[in-house]
C-alpha cells in the first residue's frame, strides 16, 4: 500500500497524465506537451509554432495537485524524447526561435 501511495505522489500514477499514459499516447501518435498554470494571452502562439514540430500543447488550468504535477513531468519527459526522435536534436531551440519570430509579427 505504501508503494502505491509513494508511486502516486512521486510519479502521479493515478493521474490522467503520467509516464504510462505518455507511452500510450506516443504509440497512438498523440504527441502533446501538457502545460499547467495561468494561461497568457499569447499562448495560442505556442500551438501555432508547435504544428511545424508535429505536436500540440494541452493547457489544463492552474489548480492541480502535487501528484498531478509529478505525473505531468513524467508525461512530458516521454513526449520530449519522442519529439527529439521526430524533430532531431536541438528541436527545442529551433522551436523557441519560431515562437520569438511569431511574437514579433
pLDDT above 90: residue 2: no
Give the model confidence (pLDDT) of 35-56 as tens digits.
999 888 778 899 999 999 999 9
**Residues recorded for the chain:** 105
Cβ burial, residue 90 (10 Å; 0-12/13-18/19+)? exposed
CA of residue 66 relative to chain centroid, distance: 16
Kindly report the pTM of this predicted structure: 0.89
Please give the pLDDT value at position 40.
Answer: 80
Q: Which residues of 13-25 are buried (b: 16+ CB within 10 A; e: fewer)?
A: bebebbbebbeeb
pLDDT tens figures, 63-105: 899 999 999 999 999 999 999 999 999 999 999 999 999 998 8
71 alpha-carbon distance from chain centroid: 10
Amino acid at each position: 500500500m505504501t508503494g502505491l501511495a509513494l508511486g502516486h505522489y512521486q510519479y502521479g500514477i493515478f493521474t490522467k497524465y503520467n509516464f504510462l499514459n505518455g507511452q500510450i499516447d506516443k504509440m497512438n501518435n498523440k504527441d502533446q506537451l501538457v502545460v499547467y498554470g495561468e494561461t497568457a494571452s499569447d499562448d495560442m502562439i505556442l500551438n501555432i509554432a508547435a504544428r511545424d514540430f508535429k505536436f500540440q500543447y494541452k493547457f489544463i488550468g492552474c489548480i492541480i495537485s502535487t501528484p498531478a504535477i509529478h505525473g505531468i513531468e513524467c508525461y512530458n519527459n516521454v513526449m520530449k524524447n519522442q519529439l527529439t526522435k521526430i524533430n532531431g536534436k536541438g528541436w527545442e531551440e529551433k522551436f523557441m526561435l519560431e515562437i520569438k519570430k511569431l511574437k514579433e509579427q
